[in-house]
Structure 1
Amino acid sequence: MILPAQAKEKAARTYAQEDLDQVFHEFDSGQSGLSSKQAISRLKHFGANTIQKTQQEAQWKIFLKNFTSLMAILLWVSGVIAIVSGTLELGIAIWCVNIINGCFSYYQQHEAQKATDSMLAMLPTYTEVYRDNKLQQLDSKNLVPGDVFMLTAGDAIPVDARILQATSLQVDESALTGESVPESKEEKYAPGEGQFAETNMVYAGTSVVNGTCSCLTIATGMNTEFGKIAQLTHAQKKVASPLQIELNRLTRQLSIIAFGIGAAFFLASILFVHYAPAKAFIFALGMIVAFIPEGLLPTVTLSLAQGVKRMAKKHALVKELNSIETLGEATVICSDKTGTLTQNQMTVNHIWTKANTYTVSGQGYAVNGKVQLNDQDVAYKDYPDLKQALLISTLDNEAKIQADPKNPGQQKIVGTPTERALMVTALKAGFDIEAALKAQPRLQECPFDSQRKRMTTIHPATNGQKLVLVKGALDGMLPLCDQIQTDGKQQEITDADVKQIQGANEHFAAQGWRSLALAYKVADDPQAKVSTSAAESHLIFVGLEVMSDPPRAEVYQAVQKCHDARIRIIMVTGDSALTAKSIAVKIGITGDNARVVTGDELHKMTDDELKIALSGPVIFARVAPEQKYRIVSNLQARGEVVASTGDGVNDAPALKKADIGIAMGKMGTDVAKDAADMILTDDNFASIVAAIEEGRAVYSNIQKFLLYILNSNMPEAVPSALFLFTRGAIPLPLTVMQILTVDLGTDMLPALGLGSERAEPDVMKQPPRPRKAHLLRKNIVWKAFGWYGLMASTISSFAYFYTNFQLGRTWTTLATSGPIYREATTMTLAAIVFSQIAAVLNCRTQQLSVFSIGIFSNKHVWFGIAFEIVLLAVLIYTPFLQGVFNTTGIGLREWLFLICIPIPLFLIEEYRKYLSRKLFAHRNKLYTQSAVQH
């Protein structure tokens, strides 16, 4: 028996060329498999036949991470400072905010992970295995090297194995290779083309689409080719997301600003107002609290969570909250072709004969683009060449029509994608398949194999003759044809005919389509069984059945949106170069001038040469797993933010390496889903575009929140500055607890409302934000402090002085305590709150009018506005809270003044946005005119 260590060192595919007796000897096995005793012993040595998932962090570590970010640490420290300085209420409030932030973030992450875990599929559950000389069903995780097992059409292959016997076996290896056409397999060795193409080997993670076979298990679990790719995936460590990096940077910036201003106010209060150090420290602490955006973390989390919920409704499951924002800044999407951009479903689009070309569509047939035939019109009988082609493709076919167990009363077609497509084509023409099968049942079959590249069936004809039907690759069949059928008549095939047939085939190949040649003959052969060579000779050529894996209907618009958003799409597929380019051009990913790089060419390229190729339109075809990983790595080295899509095991390393990996939920393998950051439950490329839109909305909402929360800093700081620079002549218009009221009370819910704002209509017309662009940009600082903040500071300061003057005070007799001082500070606080009502409405859009998105469309913002007004009323009318926050009740006249504040502030900003849009349009017009002139 082979030793466990040897099994790990020796690749499974090396057994393909060894003599079968030698392989049996190495594994101490035989045609009848293993005994139960042998299997138990080997299971202990090799372990269960399972693919290990990426090691997950312990839940307690994930939970604690939400309390140890830079912003969280800053809040913990602020709370400690507040408590040490004697303001216990302030410290507890800051800590409560931190605890709520962390719990909320963990809850959202946990819910997303639960949803993902529930949908991830596992490898096949049961396999028919020979144990103790009996065929029995066993859990596939108990398979061991040396086991002999059976496979039939529809079975998933659980291990790497050597084929012992096979009948018409075809295997879908797209999960490993990306190639959509099934591979033919048999017991004889042939190398095949590309990876995993050995004819006598099958691999874990693939599936049987046709035929049956018995196999000897060569490798299980993580020792399979499937498992090795999974190991490569596990070795790739995920780095911090761009949003995490940017939030850390923002926290550092705001910390420097807050503590810098706090230090300045501390020194100023000692030098100008002659405060004692302890009192000056409390005063400075108020400024630090004012400039720390305590609501940043919950707003970011809420914005991400809202985006996750909206994406779930659009068939995209996000595993980590930060992933959705990362997708919003993607500059490149590396996309697989099969099943991602295309339907992974072969479809016949033309039937070519010498007399006519029949175009096949969902509605039926068009003959030379003119006559329409459908299932209600049996006029195809007037086209004998078409009828003969449909007869061949229907009878010379392994696909079967049977009841669909998932949909009672309905039927489905079971078989290879190619043969299912042939059946569907006949049904579109109204061809009576059941009647044809009854009239001419199959007498004999010469199965498809990789050497002949054709399949032949023999059926009864009239007068004891036999009808031989053949379909297969044109290059192998054309030399076997002596005649050609035209309008139902047979004539000798000429060189001109051959040239015409080959020209048609080349034309279809240039479109990325695959052609299947159809031929037949009627034989006077009395023998019970006809040899393959005798059956496949002196044939009558009928025509070509042309098919392709068509693009998804939604992908055209999705690709155009990516172009509008300045996002490049690079196709990276295991399919042929010709097919890849034709699909890329057809759906608009690239033009005809795109460079096509094959896996062999890529292998010879240096990284510098690859980066040059990546700088222009490029398509990658016939790539190996590690090559897709290399492409993603080099794109990242060029500064690109890379989203990589895929469904197969071969995609998993690239999915994990990418800034965001996107796996297919229906067709995707377990390894791909485990490696990905996001899973598309409908396998629809268009859902990626919707996710990009949501990701951009998330980032925009964080900026809107930042603008909103910072603009209140000015009216909080200006009163204190007036107090300092007048050396205390102007009493402090706003206390530390009142500043806290704005930051942790009235501002919080409206800010959270901004986090749920939907994407603005023009978000997909803008380029991705540069990686060097930051959340705290100059225009945000200017708007926050020099525009919104300045207006709010002016109004709140006016409210303070206006209240003093209305109550009989002058510049020299401003109240420093007592009822008048309380009412003045209350009005200052209230004026800031009502200025913030206008600010939150203004922050809902960056340049568009708020009316264009619906002034009442965000109910969360309006709920926040209602809450802050109610909270303000509670603070100024509740006796206990009046003492804590230095407030007092105000009259109807004051309320009318406050209610009037938001209206002009809102309208002024609307007018500024209008002028900004007009200026932008004018500049754009001048740019366009200049471009035309040059």
Structure 2
Amino acid sequence: MIENNFNITGLTQNQVLEARKKYGHNILHFKKESGFLYLVKNLIKEPMVILLLVTSSIYFITGNSGDGVFLAVAIVLVSAISLYQDSRSRDALEKLKIYTQPNCKVIREGVITEIKIEELVIGDCMMVEEGTTIPADGNIVHSNDFSVNESILTGESFSVYKNQIEGTNSIYMGTMIASGLAIAIVTHIGNETKLGKIGKSLEDVLEEKTPLEVQINNFVKKMVIVGVVIFLIVWVINYFNSYNVLDSLLKALTLAMSILPEEIPVAFTTFMAMGAWRLMKMGVVVKQMKTVETLGSATVICSDKTGTITENKMSLAKLYSFESKRIISTKEEINKEEKELIRTAMWASEPIPFDPMEIALHENYNKFFTLDERPLYKMYHEYPLDGKPPMMTHIFQDDAGNRIIAAKGAPEALLNVSNLIPFERKQIEETINILANDGYRVLGVGRTVFKSDNFPSKQQDFQFSFKGLVAFYDPPKQNIQSVFDDFNTAGITVKIITGDNAATTRAIAKQISFKDYDKSISGDELMNLSDSELSKTVSETQIFTRMFPEAKLKIINALKLNGEVVAMVGDGVNDGPALKTAHIGIAMGKKGTEIAKDAASLILVDDDLSKMVDAVAMGRKIYTNLKKAIQYIISIHIPIILTVFIPLVLGWIYPNILSPIHIILLELIMGPTCSIVYENEPMEEDTMLQKPRPYSVAFFNWKELTTSIIQGLMITIGVLIMYQYAVAQGYNEAITRTMVFIVLMSANIFLTFVNRSFYYSVFTTIKYKNRLIPIVIGVTTFITTLLLFVRPLNEFFQFEILNASLIVKSIGAGFVSVIWFEIVKWLKRKNRPLNEVLR
């Protein structure tokens, strides 16, 4: 619990309830398009629905009301499936939005507590700090070096300083805090805020389509164009053969239905949305759909040290007083000079601390000092954390005019502004190295005297008296070594990018057996490199120390120019640019600032980097399963297209072996298979042993596309052989149609099993746990059985009840037309080890 040092009590629980009853919850309500209109608009855009409407209308016009009614029912079914998939995706994304809503801090009954933003009420004392988003409109009553980016309201990107002085004391919902801390009384909530009144929703941000989405949409558009061209050709050919406009149109529409791959965009949306939902259940919140697509391609992860590699449980462990000239543990008996060092370091911290090190300093002040001076002094002037290396200075003054001017920061920064002789400086530097080499995070502490109110423009212009060093220990997380091992196994390089010094970082890296822990480069050194040197350095170096925002950004851009797919882990305000620039920006859910979370595309809820291993695995699984689904769609569409096209164009004895009602029946059965069964497929063995797939490659290479085409052609051959066999035996059109339909249905079932892996055999994949496989296959088999043996259905679809011999032959043709691919997979396993496959 953060300590309240300002005697601000805030509202009581009764006052909170009264305010909420009077003014409501802190929620923004915006007018949204009605659900019905949204559904209708989306359905009108569905090409398959349009084709079904046209075809159904023609059946009714020609007096074939039975087929017309069936297609009308099919419109409802297609619409229902489409709407179900759409609502499933939107529900998953809505839950993600709710899950990513941040909390806020308030002072109630004298205690600082964390609540949901919607629970904020008018009159609340909200405490807002660097890196967060302001949750409501309010007036400042206390501030420390407080500045706000109000670009969401004003369009101006620069930060505006705010304080409790009239005219600069107003803060507004939705604006981002660039620096400092403030306590403000809430004046407006929800739609009564400035943001609410202008009706600007933070969620209404248009995202550009991802490379994969563009590729898939282009593929579907090409198929639609091909479908339109063939549709017109077939319509014209049939019209000149029969001079019957409606009959020739029906035949052409049958072919158009078979060509249209409407399942592909549905599958893409479903896989991405459900992937995001599954990741959220694992503790990984994905803010952007494109992140799901990108995860499997990550080649480099740039990790912060504090809180990512380490526990972020800063404890003040060691002290070095310049006067005592000794390193001592805080658990030992400390003298007057060392107590004074703690006191000075505390005054150099924020009055209401939120940084773990500052919290530790305040706690130790409470421990070693019985008389609390903090209520007696008020912040008089302050210099925020800045400089290279960074430092900060606070000036406090009491009612009698007594001043305390204290500074802390990187030891090098304090050495540069202190009045030390070379020998003293060398002695302190040796002490810094001793502490840093033991893995401690070291801060220098200084103090000065300044009587005038004409303060220098920069804190570095003060002449400080060096008081000593405070050393904090933040132990490595227990699982971090195994996490890094998992990344290396998956072909992902880990780089440490930290603001800490080289010695401390090296010590922590050594403790976790990090590769090349003894090689590092600082931010200043990095900025002086030429482009060619930079490219080589970021590739060969694994540890980057004393990093600042410009240096971090330079690393990310250089890695991207090297062709790497970069994931960046960050939690602070200064990490924002790098998080936004990286392919995958990763923010911490607990210790991450709102600015970091806003810039990131992914949030680790429990600050556990091991979840990124799971996320990468999920990303690879989703990409692989989506590819399986689309390859299945391509493979099964080809025989349907050719079974309609070839008899029609070549003038075979039964040219209309499949009509629109058969095509739509096949579509209704096969559609769920790709988006439901394959989406639920488990990750294949050794997925995380493969190298990341290149981000820039096409979704399908020609080899994979050729495989799907050959599979489709083989099924077509099986269908057409059975067609010609039936004709040769003198069977009528109904028997021939039934045998063709059984071949297609059995091939569809067998293809579902065979294409669960393009490497492992069906005997391996049959053991994969996918509870939807038996359900979908069972339903498909049951429907097929009803169609073949229930007389009214049999007659409606113009089938014939077959004897067992013909059914077995038809199923056998479907089996053979698919199972041959198992031989291809066997040869692949025999000739190529797994780690060479799919690269």
Same fold (TM over 0.5): yes
Change (3 A) 1:441 1:304: closer
Return the letter of the residue paired with 1:754: Y
Number of residue pairs matched?
712
Match of 1:221 in 2: 171
1:105 and 2:86 correspond: yes
1:295 and 2:263 correspond: yes
Match of 2:635 in 1: 711
Instruction: Note the alpha carbon deviations across 1:224-247, whole angstroms, 9 max, x for none.
Output: 99446999x999964223343233
Match of 2:449 in 1: none
Match of 1:753 in 2: 677
CA positional deviation for 1:682 = 0.9
1:256 and 2:229 correspond: no
Match of 1:314 in 2: 282
RMSD across aligned positions (CA): 6.1
CA positional deviation for 1:724 = 4.0
Change (3 A) 1:878 1:387: same
Change (3 A) 1:774 1:80: farther
1:286 and 2:254 correspond: yes
Return the letter of the residue paired with 1:109: R
Match of 1:830 in 2: 742
1:683 and 2:607 correspond: yes
- Asked if 2 retains the 8 angstrom alpha-carbon contact of 1:241 and 1:659, the reply is no
2: CA distance between counterparts of 1:656 and 1:303? Answer: 24
1: CA distance between counterparts of 2:162 and 2:588? Answer: 23
1:741 and 2:653 correspond: no
- Asked if 1 retains the 8 angstrom alpha-carbon contact of 2:744 and 2:814, the reply is no
Q: 1:798 aligns with which of 721, 734, 745?
A: 721
CA positional deviation for 1:635 = 6.4
- Asked if 1 retains the 8 angstrom alpha-carbon contact of 2:737 and 2:799, the reply is yes
1: CA distance between counterparts of 2:410 and 2:574? Answer: 28
What SS does the aligned partner of 1:317 have? strand
Gaps (5+ residues) in structure 2? 1-5, 9-22, 60-66, 111-118, 150-157, 180-194, 322-326, 344-352, 384-390, 394-407, 416-421, 446-464
What SS does the aligned partner of 1:785 have? helix
Match of 1:179 in 2: none
Q: 1:114 aligns with which of 87, 95, 98?
A: 95
- Asked if 1 retains the 8 angstrom alpha-carbon contact of 2:438 and 2:507, the reply is yes
- Asked if 2 retains the 8 angstrom alpha-carbon contact of 1:841 and 1:906, the reply is no
Match of 1:362 in 2: none
Change (3 A) 1:415 1:103: closer
- Asked if 2 retains the 8 angstrom alpha-carbon contact of 1:161 and 1:217, the reply is no
- Asked if 2 retains the 8 angstrom alpha-carbon contact of 1:516 and 1:546, the reply is yes
Return the letter of the residue paired with 2:523: V
CA positional deviation for 1:333 = 4.3
Match of 1:245 in 2: 214
1:789 and 2:735 correspond: no
2: CA distance between counterparts of 1:236 and 1:627? Answer: 29
What SS does the aligned partner of 2:587 have? strand
Map 1:442-841; keep pairs closer than 5 Å: 442=370, 503=430, 505-509=432-436, 513-515=440-442, 547-569=472-494, 573=498, 575=500, 588=514, 592-598=518-524, 617=541, 619=544, 621-624=546-549, 641-652=565-576, 655=579, 659-724=583-648, 726-729=650-653, 731-746=655-670, 748-749=672-673, 752-786=676-710, 788-804=711-727, 808-809=729-730, 815=731, 820-841=732-753
Q: What TM-score does the superposition give when structure 2 sets the normalisation length?
A: 0.67
Change (3 A) 1:333 1:789: same
Q: 1:920 aligns with which of 824, 828, 832?
A: 832
CA positional deviation for 1:683 = 1.6
CA positional deviation for 1:267 = 5.3
Change (3 A) 1:563 1:315: same
CA positional deviation for 1:911 = 3.1
2: CA distance between counterparts of 1:386 and 1:128? Answer: 34
Match of 2:47 in 1: 74
Match of 2:805 in 1: 893
Return the letter of the residue paired with 1:97: V
1:327 and 2:295 correspond: yes
Return the letter of the residue paired with 1:245: V
Which shows bigger deviation, 644-653 or 580-589?
580-589
Q: 2:785 aligns with which of 850, 873, 898?
A: 873
1: CA distance between counterparts of 2:532 and 2:603? Answer: 32
Map 1:10-25; keep pairs closer than 5 Å: none
- Asked if 2 retains the 8 angstrom alpha-carbon contact of 1:109 and 1:320, the reply is no
1: CA distance between counterparts of 2:410 and 2:444? Answer: 6
Gaps (5+ residues) in structure 1? 1-30, 34-47, 130-138, 165-170, 177-194, 204-213, 354-358, 360-382, 399-413, 427-433, 455-470, 479-494, 519-536, 810-814, 928-934
- Asked if 2 retains the 8 angstrom alpha-carbon contact of 1:336 and 1:646, the reply is yes
1:861 and 2:773 correspond: yes
Return the letter of the residue paired with 1:823: I
Instruction: Note the alpha carbon deviations across 1:781-827, whole angstroms, 9 max, x for none.
Output: 322221x223322332333344455xx51xxxxx5xxxx32122111
CA positional deviation for 1:573 = 5.0
Change (3 A) 1:391 1:897: farther
2: CA distance between counterparts of 1:110 and 1:419? Answer: 42
2: CA distance between counterparts of 1:112 and 1:234? Answer: 12
CA positional deviation for 1:548 = 3.6
1:342 and 2:310 correspond: yes
- Asked if 1 retains the 8 angstrom alpha-carbon contact of 2:317 and 2:329, the reply is no
- Asked if 2 retains the 8 angstrom alpha-carbon contact of 1:335 and 1:571, the reply is yes
1: CA distance between counterparts of 2:303 and 2:204? Answer: 22
Percent of pairs with identical residues: 24
CA positional deviation for 1:840 = 0.6
What SS does the aligned partner of 1:755 have? helix
Change (3 A) 1:422 1:780: same
Change (3 A) 1:894 1:712: same
- Asked if 2 retains the 8 angstrom alpha-carbon contact of 1:347 and 1:550, the reply is no
Instruction: Note the alpha carbon deviations across 1:564-619, whole angstroms, 9 max, x for none.
Output: 44445555555556656766786748765454435x975x8999997787666474
Return the letter of the residue paired with 2:171: G
2: CA distance between counterparts of 1:884 and 1:283? Answer: 18
What SS does the aligned partner of 2:219 have? helix
Match of 2:105 in 1: 124
2: CA distance between counterparts of 1:476 and 1:609? Answer: 28
Change (3 A) 1:691 1:873: same
Change (3 A) 1:907 1:799: closer
CA positional deviation for 1:295 = 2.6
CA positional deviation for 1:866 = 0.9
Higher Cα radius of gyration: 1
Change (3 A) 1:384 1:52: closer
Instruction: Note the alpha carbon deviations across 1:743-795, whole angstroms, 9 max, x for none.
Output: 22245336520121122233233344334433343233322221x22332233
Change (3 A) 1:689 1:217: farther
Change (3 A) 1:345 1:836: same
